[in-house]
Amino acid sequence: MRAISAADSVSLAIHRTREFLFKRFTWGTYLKLGLVAIVTEGLGSNFQSSSHNYHSSPHIGAPPYGPMVPPSFHLAPVQIAAIVAAVLLALILAGVVFYLVTRLRFAYFHCLIHNSTEIRPGWWIYRSQAARFFWLNLAVGFCFLLLVGLLAIPFGAGFWRLFQETQHGGPLDIGLLLSLVLPLIPILILLALSAMLADLILRDCMLPHIALDDATAGEAWSQVWTRIKAEKREFFVYALLRVALPIVATIGLFLLFMIPGLILAGALAAVEFGIHSTFADASGSSWLVGVLLQVFFGVLAFGFALLAGICLGGPVSTGIREYALIFYGGRYKELGDALYPASGNAV
């Protein structure tokens, strides 16, 4: 498979997506693949989601110590232990979910490169590689959060002073607030770009080496960096398109289906309102019938929304992954050979 430019890879990705999802179309397979694509592309964004809450907090620069509650408020040791246990349980559950998503990402990678609709083979074939990739992502995510914390230290004292002044009823110091917030804006933009770049390198470039060559993290990064240095401009264009294409596709689908969606949502809302109005003063069995009808149509609305999300988001997520595979497959022989075997249609 020859190297294909970032722009030319778009049409090939659309073609492979159409062949993969619609050539042997059945609703069950389509919904299964669409759901897997959404989960692996939407929920599997490595470590970005773990740092989102830190970025969006209004006290980003505040240090993790000091009285954040009124002095008269005290927690009993049992309550502290329960909070710590709940946080640890949440972290464990989040880790388990992220591990399963990582396994599923490798399974879908196997489906796409071999044009197979079976999820199970890739789930087991790449078990050890997925575990290694999982720990790699955790390490990168931890380093990223550590970097965020270090960058926030210089702003900590200012935010803490601003917080104390507002807690004591003093006027908000607008000058101090602006002097703290304005320098943070370019820092947050750089952090967001760094997170997206790390995510692209990990998922689009390093994952194929780990999957197909059973490479270590160092070996995969060495291979990727060699290719990036050889084609800096092309990889830069690819990164721009890789970020822009999902946004453009989502906006296009939204505009295309906005009117039908509003009509359907309006119809279901009118039915819900009508049922609620009809049974507003009911009691006994009539009240129960009204509640059950509202629950039924609420579940129906949720089902329609979920179905629409899978039907529309599945092809977009699959197309983005196909785009990444085609672009990098032209620069990584083993991946290119898997996508377009020598006996098949060469690109």
3-state secondary structure 172-234: CCHHHHHHHHHHHHHHHHHHHHHHHHHHHHHHHHHHHHHHHCCCCHHHHHHHHHHHHHHCHHH
- Residue 200 resides in a domain: yes
Please check the confidence at residue 179 and state whether its pLDDT lies above 50.
yes
- Residue 224 resides in a domain: yes
Please check the confidence at residue 125 and state whether its pLDDT lies above 50.
yes
Comparing 255 with 280, the larger pLDDT belongs to: 255
The pLDDT value given to residue 32 = 93
Comparing 20 with 161, the larger pLDDT belongs to: 20
- Residue 1 resides in a domain: no
- Residue 345 resides in a domain: no
Mean pLDDT value of segment 105-116: 94
Total structural domains in the chain?
Answer: 1
Mean pLDDT value of segment 114-128: 94
The pLDDT value given to residue 168 = 62
Percent of the chain with pLDDT over 70: 83
Mean pLDDT value of segment 1-25: 91
Comparing 151 with 36, the larger pLDDT belongs to: 36
Please check the confidence at residue 293 and state whether its pLDDT lies above 70.
yes
The pLDDT value given to residue 261 = 81
Please check the confidence at residue 133 and state whether its pLDDT lies above 70.
yes
* Rounded (10°) CA dihedral 288, 292, 294, 299: 160
pLDDT range class, residue 257, cuts 50, 70, 90: confident
Mean pLDDT value of segment 138-142: 92
**In this structure, what token pair is assigned to residue 106?**
């490798």
User: Is the CB of residue 37 less than 8 Å from the CB of residue 108?
Assistant: yes
- Residue 69 resides in a domain: yes
The pLDDT value given to residue 54 = 40
Cα 293 from Cα 62, distance rounded (Å): 49
Q: Which domain holds residue 130?
A: 8-339
| Sequence letter at residue 64 | P
Please check the confidence at residue 88 and state whether its pLDDT lies above 80.
yes
Q: What does pTM read for this prediction?
A: 0.79
pLDDT range class, residue 171, cuts 50, 70, 90: low
- Residue 2 resides in a domain: no
- Residue 3 resides in a domain: no
Mean pLDDT value of segment 332-338: 92
Cα 16 from Cα 319, distance rounded (Å): 8
Q: For 90-99, 162-171, 251-260, which range has the lowest pLDDT when averaged over its residues?
A: 162-171
- Residue 211 resides in a domain: yes
Q: pLDDT averaged over the chain? A: 83
